[in-house]
Amino acid sequence: MTIGHVTADGHARIQVVVEDSNEGTRDVEALLDTGFKGALALPAKRIAELGLKRRGQVTAVLASGEERNVPTYRATVREGGTRHSAVVAEAGEPLVGMRLLWGFNVRLQCVDGGQVDLERL
């Protein structure tokens, strides 16, 4: 199943469906970040739009090595034909991490406009 595309600057962007607090759904385009061990990260504004409930906080280690405490939330996410609960960390941009992709095979066509495909293992 195709879930995204590769951009001209070499980033893999994928679509994730997140359920909001009213049981509706919202499409979120996020950067695939294999260095992010969590499931999903979203900006505070998007978290508020979705009406997600705060869960707690985690200490995140940024690419620069800086540690930062960030709020976490609980969301229901649909991807790869499955629906499951995921922890959402607050971040500056939407990111999909390895926890959300665990148990799937991800295939990237590393060219401008290339497909990002996902299949369950």
| pLDDT tens track for 19-36 | 988 878 999 999 999 989
d(CA 52, CA 65): 28
Q: Which residue has the higher pLDDT, 23 or 107?
A: 107
Identify whether the C-beta of residue 94 lies closer than 8 Å to the C-beta of residue 36: no
d(CA 22, CA 11): 32
Q: Which residue has the higher pLDDT, 78 or 80?
A: 78
- Spell out the domains of the chain, with CATH numbers in brackets: 2-120 (2.40.70.10)
Q: Which residue has the higher pLDDT, 83 or 91?
A: 91
What average pLDDT score do residues 97-112 get?
A: 94
Separation of first and last alpha carbons in the chain? 13
Q: What is the pLDDT of residue 80?
A: 66
pLDDT bin (cut points 50, 70, 90) of residue 94 is very high
